[in-house]
């Protein structure tokens, strides 16, 4: 564990140094502050924003379940708690998913790329259920899920900026900070709280007892909350994206209209 943490720490330090050295702030305009009551008005009729927030909240609920239950799965179902650190370390491959986003967006658009992320991470967890205690195959499906996680985690941040444009087009109010903060920070906090609560309730229903030999029913409950439960919730995130499609198709017209207004 110490070796893994040391490696991740060194990598993080190097990346922070590179980011600090190359980051330059370019202030091209002075942003006018907007009262909270006016910012709230930017939500009215902003359906693409609402859909992105719902999808992002669903993602963070499922992600928290995915991450918080892996230790139980390794300890009780696989019988080796030490695997947790290694398996969590493999999630670094999600960076590949993040890097591939520009190429995927060109092929599938933003809503399609988000859906692809949900499908990959859900499919990975379903695959883990069927391979049982085969650790090698479990790792393969974990990698697939991690790639999808990287995609689905990053897409809302790109899509939220489009919803800010829609809000300005719809209401005349450009509440960038408010809409982005609710769409990101709120979803992360709320999703983490809900996602941490759900698996505890479900495992208790299956008879889970901490630090004890688990019954067959409890073991199935642990397997369920680690595989099927997050998979089902991730797949639910596809629904708002299907409705988001028509708004994304109109983005170029909205940008052109805004450009005419601002000129």
pLDDT in tens, 27-74: 545 556 677 777 787 888 899 999 999 999 999 999 999 999 999 999
**SS3 (DSSP) at 237:** coil
- Could you tell me what percent of the chain has a pLDDT over 90? 70
Q: Would you kindly state where each structural domain of the chain is located, as residue ranges?
A: 47-262
- Could you tell me what percent of the chain has a pLDDT over 70? 93
Asked whether the beta carbons of 159 and 52 are under 8 A apart, the reply is yes
Asked whether the beta carbons of 42 and 173 are under 8 A apart, the reply is yes
Q: Give the confidence band of 194 by pLDDT, cuts at 50, 70, 90.
A: very high
pLDDT of residue 26: 57
Chain position carrying tokens 């085969």: 134
Q: Evaluate if residue 88 carries a pLDDT over 80.
A: yes
**CB crowding 208-234: b at 16 or more within 10 Å, else e:** beeeeebeeebbebbbbbbbebbbebb
Q: Evaluate if residue 9 carries a pLDDT over 80.
A: no
- Which residues does 163 contact at the CB level (< 8 Å), separation at least 6? 46, 48, 49, 52, 179, 183
pLDDT of residue 5: 63
Mean confidence (pLDDT) of the chain:
90
Joined tokens for residue 261: 């207004």
What tens digit of pLDDT does each residue of 208-252 get? 999 899 999 999 999 999 999 999 999 999 999 999 999 999 998
Q: Return d(Cα 101, Cα 242) in angstroms, integer.
A: 19
For the whole model, what pTM was predicted?
A: 0.88
pLDDT of residue 192: 95
User: Which is higher by pLDDT, 37 or 110?
Assistant: 110
Burial class (CB in 10 A: 0-12, 13-18, 19+), 173: buried
Superfamily of domain 47-262: MFS general substrate transporter like domains (1.20.1250.20)
pLDDT of residue 239: 98
């Amino acid at each position: 564990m110490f070796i893994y943490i040391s490696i991740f720490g060194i990598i993080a330090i190097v990346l922070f140094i590179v980011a600090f050295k190359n980051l330059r702030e370019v202030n091209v305009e002075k942003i006018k502050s907007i009262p909270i009551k006016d910012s709230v008005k930017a939500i009215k009729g902003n359906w693409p924003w609402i859909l992105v927030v719902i999808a992002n909240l669903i993602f963070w609920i499922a992600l928290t379940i995915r991450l918080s239950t892996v230790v139980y799965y390794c300890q009780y179902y696989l019988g080796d708690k030490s695997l947790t650190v290694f398996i969590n370390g493999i999630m670094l491959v999600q960076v590949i998913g993040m890097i591939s986003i520009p190429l995927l967006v060109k092929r599938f658009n933003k809503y399609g790329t988000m859906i692809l992320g949900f499908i990959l991470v859900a499919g990975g967890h379903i695959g883990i259920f069927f391979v049982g205690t085969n650790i090698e195959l479990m790792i393969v499906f974990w990698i697939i899920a991690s790639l999808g996680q990287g995609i689905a985690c990053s897409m809302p941040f790109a899509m939220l900026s489009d919803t800010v444009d829609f809000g300005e087009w719809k209401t005349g109010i450009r509440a960038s900070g408010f809409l982005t903060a609710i769409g990101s920070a709120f979803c992360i906090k709320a999703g983490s709280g809900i996602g941490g609560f759900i698996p505890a309730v479900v495992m208790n229903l299956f008879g889970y007892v901490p630090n004890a030999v688990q019954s067959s029913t409890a073991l199935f409950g642990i397997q369920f909350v680690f595989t099927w439960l997050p998979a089902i919730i991730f797949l639910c995130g596809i629904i708002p994206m299907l409705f988001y499609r028509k708004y994304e198709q109109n983005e170029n017209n909205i940008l052109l209209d805004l450009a005419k207004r601002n000129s």
